[in-house]
Amino acid sequence: DVKVTQSSRYLVKRTGEKVFLECVQDMDHENMFWYRQDPGLGLRLIYFSYDVKMKEKGDIPEGYSVSREKKERFSLILESASTNQTSMYLCASSGSGTGSLNEQFFGPGTRLTVL
């Protein structure tokens, strides 16, 4: 079974703090993704990575950065948290190839509140 884990289920931070969200997958997947999930807006892609040290911007990268130093770990960084970054953050991973090989598997999510 694919396992995608996220470091925290709930996180409360103050405006201006630097925030790290960690994601780890155990299936040797090449691709990893960070989304935020907001009611009425669905899932929006923040950043993704297709290999170690490789990253690409998604649809809403502003205010975020990422790091992928090891294949199994993908970190999302909020350099200076703001209240409009209060959201549910989902990490996902997938293999390369076609068909079921590239199914995205999701972590349980981290609910971040910025006060």
Partner 1 sequence: AQRVTQPEKLLSVFKGAPVELKCNYSYSGSPELFWYVQYSRQRLQLLLRHISRESIKGFTADLNKGETSFHLKKPFAQEEDSAMYYCALRGGTSYGKLTFGQGTILTVHP
CB of 107 to partner 1, least distance (A): 7
Contact between 110 and partner 1 per CB under 8 A = no
59-89 burial, b for 16+ CB within 10 Å, e for fewer? eeeeebebbbeeebebbbebeebeeebbbeb
For partner 1, the closer of residues 9 and 14 by Cβ is: 9
Closest approach of partner 1 to the CB of residue 14, in Å: 28
For 15-39, letters b (16+ CB in 10 Å) and e give eeeebebbbbbeeebbbbbbbbeee
Tokens 């925030």 label which residue?
19
- The single residue among 50, 63, 72, 77 that binds partner 1, judged by CB under 8 A, is 50
Binds partner 1 (CB under 8 A): choice among 58, 61, 73, 111:
58
Asked if 40 touches partner 1 (CB under 8 A), the answer is yes
* Residue among 67, 50, 48 at smallest CA distance from 58: 48
Contact between 44 and partner 1 per CB under 8 A: yes
Q: Which residues bind partner 1 (CB under 8 A)?
A: 4, 31, 33, 35, 40-45, 48, 50, 56, 58-59, 90, 92, 94, 96, 99, 102-109
